Amino acid sequence: MPRANDRRRNAPKAAAQSEGNGGGLELVPTQALGDGESGEGEGAEGQTGVTSAYGAAAGERIRKLEGMLPRYYFTVTSELEALRVKRSDASGPRGARIHVTYGKGSGVSTKPRDYRDSWQCELLPGVDEPELVEGANEVAWRKRRWNGIEGEVVSGADFLLARLDGVLELDGRVTIRARDKTLIDATYWGVVDLARDWVVPGQGGDQAPGGDRAGGDKDPNPDEAAVSKAYLDFVTGQVSGDLRVSLCIRFETNTGPWASSAEAEDTAWTKKSRLKHEKTVWKYTDLVRQQFYGIGIIRLERDQNGPTMPKEIEIDVVAPSFDWRRP
């Protein structure tokens, strides 16, 4: 399976060439919005009011964002098991629903090489230790925003919807258990164009939905026939191959007993809770404090008895780097 990381690894070079600054992380401070001092602002003469000021600043911001690199957090790989939809005609008014569960052979890990490429430093030893080693190791860990994770997917389901317009909607929930027993819940969603987002269409005898139009010269706006063919090929199990997916991901995990105002003076009882995980709270705090994205691949296999079955998923979890916000 082609690694989803490959594209990201090449991104720094491309960004450096286009920006000439090796990363382009220095963005316009928020205060600059509307002050008319940006280069775009000067070029926006003739426009008046908030619109021109905002437009100028936004243009500058977007140009800088193009050079911004996502931060790599970890990779999730898992076999998938399709539970539902037994017949090829199993489609509701919006399309075909497929209930997919995450199966055995799942893994969650921060890959040292990708971590180094992204964070410009090595993973600290002990990242996969069940118990945090007290002392100097912890001090070093706490200085970092993200220290990596090792674990597995303990449960997960995705209620896929293959829409009539040839778009696959993903709507999943996954629970990850780190080796230190911390549970992390992930909620994700995304859309994939079945007529376009194939990684290796046409190879190995595989045929992508949408026929030739989904081949190497991908049509950015597939016509109605290609869309219909993509949908029908998918729900009748006529295709296989690797489907490129991008997801929005949100994480939830134990971040400590946050006392409300009413409880502020009486939190001793939470110490007795079966839900406290004080030792690991700080390790994964970064996961719940920002928006994440997933970039990866779903491997699909033919199934003569029903829709194309998702068999495997590999997702790199990344977050946008907002270091530019800091003074």
Partner 1 sequence: MNLPEPRATLFERDLLYLFSLDADVEMRREDLGFVPGGVRMNVFARPDKTRVYHVERERSTFGFKSVQGTITAGVDRIFLREDDVGLVNVQVSIETDDGADIHAAYSGVFPAGQRGYRRLISKKPKLGTEMEPFMAKAFVTPRFETSSLKYRWLMQYQCVGYSQVAVIDSVVRSVSVDIYAMD
In the numeric block, which tokens belong to residue 80? Answer: 């998938």
Query: Does residue 315 contact residue 7 with C-beta atoms inside 8 Å?
Result: no
- Judged on CB neighbours under 10 Å (0-12, 13-18, 19+), 101 is middle
Smallest distance, Å, CB 89 to partner 1?
Answer: 7
Are 73 and 319 a contacting pair, CB within 8 Å? yes
Minimal distance in Å, beta carbon 163 to partner 1?
Answer: 13
- C-beta separation of 265 from 322 below 8 A: no
Cβ of residue 276: shortest distance to partner 1, in angstroms? Answer: 7
Interface ranges with partner 1 (CB under 8 A)? 83-87, 89-94, 96-97, 99, 101, 154-155, 157, 159, 173, 175, 183-185, 252-258, 260, 262-263, 269-270, 272-277, 288
Between 238 and 255, CB nearer to partner 1? 255
Closer residue to partner 1, CB minimum distance, 114 or 158: 158
**Separation of alpha carbons 225 and 212, rounded Å:** 12
Q: Which is nearer to partner 1, 228 or 255 (CB)?
A: 255
CA proximity to 159, closest of 210, 231, 95, 207: 95
Query: To the nearest whole angstrom, how small is the minimum distance from the Cβ of residue 295 to partner 1?
Result: 25
Measured from the CB atom, is 116 or 181 closer to partner 1?
A: 181
Of 75, 67, 16, 26, give the one whose Cα is nearest residue 318. 75
Strand-strand pairing, 150-163 and 95-102: antiparallel
Whole-number minimum distance, CB 150 to partner 1, in Å? 18
Check: CB of residue 78 under 8 Å from CB of residue 62: no
For residues 141 and 159, which CB has a smaller minimum distance to partner 1 in the complex? Answer: 159
